[in-house]
Amino acid sequence: MRYKGLNLNLLHALDVLLETRNVSRAAERLGLTQSALSAALAQLRDYFGDPLLVSDGRRMYPTVFAEQLRNELGQFLDATNAVLSTSRVFDPATTRRIFRVIASDYVVAAVLAPLTEALSVVAPNIRLDFAQPDEVASEALRAGELDLLISPQEFMLPDSPTEDLFQEEIVVAGWSQNPVFAQTLDLEAFAAAGHVSVAIGRHREVTFADKHLLALGHARKIECVASSFTTVPWLLRGTYRLAMMHRRLAQTMAGYLPLAFAPLPFEFPLMQEAVQYHRTRAADPGLRWLIDAIRLVANGPSTDAVQIADRLCRAL
């Protein structure tokens, strides 16, 4: 769309460029080639009659004019997102819409996968597009490019609306033939066993379970480190290793793999899963419907698609 001779898509590109101050990172965020983004920057420079970003070594720095423009640009894009995202009527049975959701593979496997089965019945034209949590995804949510972030409360972005979704218990899981599950698991057996842990993303971020385990002063003998939660059961099968796992995920994976699980042999906090969205989406009825649907599935008595679909029809 053009307005006063300017392609408005270029303003979004400028906003990302001013944030990243790097053409290659901005191009990756926008899903463009570096040459295409360089061409967009050239058009912006020509339109505004200002260099906007000036290279110095390997970094780019905004001009004084660009710094003045950035605040106005942010307000304009927020207002535009609000106009485009808000619809007067949302009918899940007929709407055609893509919801882009940041969620760990644990949440996708244990909560969102059962929801997608039910949506094929009650909302067949809705598509859920999942992204793994990382620095780029979080910034995309802040920029209004993604719809929802689902994460433990303590890992949420500090400047976006947040709502509680469900609480999760952390359990200890292992191979179903591991003899430690033949009796009540104690702290001594927990500490003596080899363990599988999880580290998230390129920077190997610590998980909720490991963060709180360290705070409690309990040590584990780590034998394997997985890059995703759903990989863990495969590293337990046929071994005497243990892992700290979300109860919902353990219940889900036990339906496919020989997995056993039991309560932790010490007091451990519940994990509060929450959902977050861009502040301009607060009045979006479609997003509200999806959040309520996720909460209903997470807190429901069953993951059966037919039962979930029936509850969705009656409750939402």
Instruction: Give pLDDT, residue 59.
Output: 79
Which residue range(s) make up the domain with 212? 170-269
Q: Are 153 and 292 part of one and the same domain? A: yes
Q: Which of 269, 287, 306 is the last residue of a domain?
A: 269
CA pair distance 244, 262, nearest whole angstrom: 10
pLDDT reported for residue 300: 84
The whole-number pLDDT of residue 79 equals 67
- Residue 116 is assigned to a structural domain of this protein: yes
Task: Supply φ then ψ for residue 310, to 5 degrees.
Answer: -65, -40
Structural domains of the chain, count: 3
Residue 92, domain member (yes or no): no
Our CA dihedral for 61, 65, 66, 69, rounded to 10 degrees, sits at: 160
Tally Cβ neighbours within 10 Å of residue 270.
11
Cα 132 from Cα 307, distance rounded (Å): 28
Q: Please report whether residue 90 resides in a domain.
A: no
Which residue, among 135, 100, 164, has the nearest Cα to 29 in the 3D structure?
A: 135
CB 264 within 8 A of CB 209: no
Does residue 43 sit in the same domain as residue 119? no
- Ranges of residues in the chain whose predicted pLDDT is under 50: 1
Reported as a single tens digit per residue, the pLDDT across 135-146 is 777 778 877 788
List strands edge to edge, sheet with 126-131.
126-131, 97-102, 148-152, 271-276, 162-168
Q: Which amino acid is at 233?
A: P
**226 found inside a domain:** yes
Is the overall model pTM greater than 0.85, yes or no? no
